[in-house]
Amino acid sequence: MLELAAILLAGFWAGMINVVVGSGTLVTFPVLLLFGYPPLTANISNNIGLVAGGLSGTWGYRRELAPNKATLMRLLPASAAGGLVGAVLLLVLPATAFNAIVPALIVLGILMVAFGPALQRRMATRRYTGPREDGAGPSRSTAGLVAGIFVLGMYGGYFGAAQGILIVGLMSIVTTLALQQINAVKNVLTTTVNAVAALTFIIVAGAYIDWKVVGLIAVGSLLGGLVGARFGRRLPPAALRATIIIVGTAALVKMLFFP
């Protein structure tokens, strides 16, 4: 009963954190390891379970998504493709291949979130987001954003810790969207990555799935996503940015000093 309650509570907390900030995997994954689940089983089962929290969080942010459907449609294919590649890499590469760079990625995400507004203002004078007059296609910033979202989707399909922080950081620099709108788009992209990876795991790696864990995390994260959306949408931009930085720093400390 203690194990069931702990996993359910971890799923709730992860779902809430994922919607507001990202990095909920750093809550659920260590809990599963603590109760003796093999790392690959814990990672895959956790990934599948957190899809529910992403769906409820996306629903909670539906108002912020409405004006950004065009941006979302440009980025969704990149997230889906990245999630598929990352899921395949998880099954064929040693865990150390990506885990070694996770702390560096988290630091990068924190810095991007912290200095995003200043970089936004600097880049706004040089950015052109509409169709080019010469008909050559999208601007460099758009192409760079799509490429970045693909890479982060690949990382998310592999492990996913702090994927949301990295997406918020990237979009804070490359786009002119308000932070709450970026958070809404981030929720859809991370949920897409998790869903594609989850489907891949179900098809080709069913032996590594613990459905009891999936069910507990799914229920917990579903409720956590709803609560997180209600809380996160009310945070002013400065408070939301500070929350992202604090949670990201805590995640970094945990990974470096309390693995």
Tokens of 95: 């865990």
pLDDT at 131: 43
Alpha-carbon gap, residue 36 to 13, rounded angstroms: 20
Taken in order 167, 172, 175, 176, is the CA torsion positive or negative? positive
Task: Look at 247 and 215; give whichever has higher pLDDT.
Answer: 215
Supply the pTM of this predicted model.
0.79
The predicted structure's pLDDT at residue 125: 54
- Residue 56 above 60 pLDDT? yes
- Nearest alpha carbon to residue 185 among 77, 104, 103, 73: 73
User: What is the pLDDT at residue 143?
Assistant: 86
What pLDDT was estimated at residue 191? 93
Q: How confident is the model at residue 29 (pLDDT cuts 50, 70, 90)?
A: confident
Q: In the predicted model, is pLDDT for residue 128 greater than 50?
A: no
CA gap 6, 38 in Å, rounded: 17
CB 35 within 8 A of CB 18: no
| 136 pLDDT higher than 50 | no
Spacing of C-alpha 90 from chain mean position = 17
Buried b (16+ CB within 10 A) or exposed e, 33-51: eeeebeeebbbbbbbbbbb
Residue 132 reports pLDDT greater than 80: no
Cα–Cα dist 94/48, whole Å: 20
Q: Which long-range contacts (CB under 8 A, 24 or more apart) does 126-132 make?
A: 127/174, 127/176, 129/175, 129/176
**Amino acid letter, residue 151:** V
Length of the chain: 259
Q: What is the pLDDT of residue 79?
A: 95
Reduced to 3 states, what is the DSSP secondary structure of residue 24? coil
| pLDDT (mean) for 127-154 | 67
Q: Could you identify the residue written with the tokens 């950004």? A: 68
Domain residue spans in the chain?
Answer: 2-257
CA 80 to chain CA centroid, Å, is 13
Q: 214 vs 178, which has greater pLDDT?
A: 214
Look at residue 139 in the predicted model and tell me its pLDDT.
53
